[in-house]
Every structure is written in structure tokens, then in C-alpha cells.
Amino acid sequence: MVHNFLKIFILILLNIVMLDAGHPKNLVWNGGPLHLQCESGSDLWMTNRHVKENVIAVKTVPYQDEIYIITPRMKPGVLATLWLIIRTKNGVELQPYPELRDHKISDCNAIQNAVDFYLDHLGKLWVLDTGVIDTLANPRCTCPPKVVVINLLLGKLIKRIDISSLLEPTSLLQNIVVEYGIGGKTFIYASDASRGAVLVHEISSGAGWSVVASGPTTGLQIALVKRTAHTVLILVRLHHPGIIELDTTALRRRDSLTPLTVFGEHSKPVVLLGADGSHVYLRHTECSDVLVWNTHDAFNSSRLNNIHSAGPRLTTTAVAADPLKHLLLILDTNYLDTLQGNSPTYHKISFVSKNCH
């Protein structure tokens, strides 16, 4: 018995050591500290002035031992809009991903303004590119909206999908998720807040359509969640109470009516931060504490488990799961202070055990 107890203790100790060795307690940086590869062309560097103070990370995702972030082009001087985090002895640096040339403004083969991404089980990163840059300063459309697919194993951009036919001039793209259906079909779902709609695009046929799920809003967030026997799309309207649920089976049938289920119509408004399997991560609009909802239980915004507090003047903008290390990556920033002034945004990625919920 003593021998077995010793073995268990050693295994636990090894897991803790591996966890600490693979991930520090947190990663912190200000603005956009650059890490440029030698092969990057000097012409791109000279024609793209980098303003560190204007770089604001809003999303993060882990893959194997790497971490990727999105920094939308809200203001001028954002050299790239998708980055790989490089951990050096001096701290965090940001490397344009896959390459600097993949972010050249007005080159419609390049990413103009990434606002969201989705990592699938095959190691493909699906990036939602609105084509509109400098959104908070002087918005201008440089290219049609598209979805860019990047193979993270190869480190290459492998596909560009034009979704402009699904949009209207006032469309406001915000979130993207991807679902692999029966028969090998792949479906892209993207949210258009200006219409309260979900855009659906089927890859193999190139067919696309939109499904109105709510009234127009300033923000429409979506997440893919696994139920016991099917998959649903969770929708959150910013500053509106309650959440909406759509069965993706109905969503994928172009000409069918898509039934909606609404939960918590009289509860506090929430902000959607991420999802992992049957768990959805949220926060109340007036609070920065990260909450988790196990979707096997009924939704009640007043009875969600608190798993993280951002801290004074910080706001959580994203939660992503690392299934291999059984961790959650939580991105906190003081971006609200940055938008009101000229100081670089303070970013912090915390690593939280998934056992906390």
C-alpha cells in the first residue's frame, strides 16, 4: 500500500512539474512588442509603420506548445492582425503569422483585419477577415470580407473563402465557428450583428445563406456547443438579457425554419468569452469576473461558477481551452483605458486549471 501511495504521489508531482515547465503562471506585455524574422522583406517593413501603442489583443488560442493572438486593426499602425507569441528571456514578443507579407494592406490575398478565429480538431485556424481597417479612427474598406484558413502544422495560409455575397453594406461581422457535418461537409457560421443574423457557408458547394436569429444589435457573439445528441449554436446579444440557442441541424437546412430557444430573458446581460465542449465562458457586462456555464444544466446568469477575476482596471476579453494540458488561457487587458488615451494596452494571459469548474 505504501508503495502504491508513493507511485501516485510521484505521478502527481511529475504532472505539476510538467505543468509549471510548460506554462508560466501568466504572460504579460504592453502594446505590440515586435519579433521580426530575418527573411521578412525590408520593403514591407518600410511601407508599414508600426505603432506599438495601437496594438490591442482581443482573442487568444493555444495549439500544441504555441499561443496565437488576434489584434484587430482598430487604429493605424498595426503591422499585422494575427500573431504568434514568442517567449524570450526579456519577455513576450509578437511575430506576424504566418508571415509579415500575409498582412499587407490592400493586398486582397493577405489578411486585412482579423476580428475572430476558430481552431478546429485538424489544426486548421479559420480567420474571419472583415476587410475594413482602422475601424475606430477612419474606417476604410481595403478588400472584400473573407475567411482565411491557416494550417498550423505547416505554418501556411492554405485557403481563402470569399463571403462577400452573404453581406450587406451595413454588415458588422464579429464571430466565426466551424462545424464538420455528416458526409464530410464543412460549414462556416459567422455572426452579422447589424442584421442579427448568422451567415452560413458550406465549403464544398460554395453555397451560402443567412438566418436571422434576433433583432439588429451592436454585438452578436456565437459559440458552438455540444449537447448530448446534437450540436447547438449559442448566441449572445451585447447589452441584452438572455441567450439564444439554435440547433445547427436546422441551421444547415437552407430552406427550413430554424427554431430558436431563449434562456434567461429576465437575467443580467452577459458577454460571451469562449466555449469548450459543453462549457461556455461568460462574464456579466458590468463585471470582469469570468463565469462558466455547464450547458447540461439550465441557464441562470445568477448561478454560474466564478473561475477567474481579472483584477483592477482589467477586462477579460477571451477564454480558450488547451485540451492537451487541461488548461484554460484567459486574456485580460486594460483596453478601455487605451481607447481613451494613448498608452499601450497592458495584456495578461493567465493559465487556469480546468479542474476549477
CA-based nearest residue to 266, from 293, 300, 297, 295: 300
Q: How does residue 250 score in pLDDT terms, banded at 50, 70 and 90?
A: confident
Greatest C-alpha distance within the chain? 71
Q: What is the mean pLDDT of the segment spanning 116-143?
A: 96
Higher-confidence position of 272 and 48: 272
pLDDT in tens, 264-287: 887 889 999 999 989 999 999 988
Helix (H, G, I), strand (E, B) or coil at 14: helix
How many Å apart are CA 187 and CA 222, to the nearest integer? Answer: 14
In order of 108, 141, 304, the CA distances from 130 in angstroms are 11, 9, 33
pLDDT in tens, 331-343: 999 998 988 887 8
What residue spans of 258-357 are helical by DSSP H? 335-340
Q: Is 60 exceeded by the pLDDT of residue 112?
A: yes
pLDDT in tens, 273-326: 999 989 999 999 988 899 999 998 888 888 899 999 998 999 999 999 998 889
Cell digits for 210?
443567412
Task: Check: CB of residue 150 under 8 Å from CB of residue 157.
Answer: yes
Task: Check: CB of residue 115 under 8 Å from CB of residue 128.
Answer: yes
Q: Is 50 exceeded by the pLDDT of residue 16?
A: no
Q: What is the mean pLDDT of the segment spanning 104-124?
A: 97
- The pLDDT value given to residue 256: 63
Q: How does residue 168 score in pLDDT terms, banded at 50, 70 and 90?
A: very high
Residue ranges per structural domain of the chain:
31-162
Q: How does residue 11 score in pLDDT terms, banded at 50, 70 and 90?
A: very low
Could you tell me what percent of the chain has a pLDDT over 70?
A: 89
Q: Which residue has the cell 469562449?
A: 274
Q: What is the mean pLDDT of the segment spanning 90-99?
A: 95
- The pLDDT value given to residue 2: 44
CA-based nearest residue to 155, from 56, 82, 59: 82
**Range of weakest confidence among 65-79, 102-116, 188-202, 287-301:** 287-301
- The pLDDT value given to residue 267: 85
Q: Is 90 exceeded by the pLDDT of residue 230?
A: no
Query: How far is CA 46 from its chain centroid?
Result: 30
- The pLDDT value given to residue 24: 53
Higher-confidence position of 14 and 317: 317
Average pLDDT, the chain: 88
Residue 315: phi and psi, rounded to 5, are -130, 135
Q: Is 80 exceeded by the pLDDT of residue 42?
A: no
Whether the full predicted model's pTM is greater than 0.85, yes or no, is yes
Q: Which residues are CB-contacts of 4 (< 8 A; sequence separation ≥ 6)? A: none
Q: Is 80 exceeded by the pLDDT of residue 148?
A: yes
How many Å apart are CA 218 and CA 175, to the nearest integer? Answer: 13
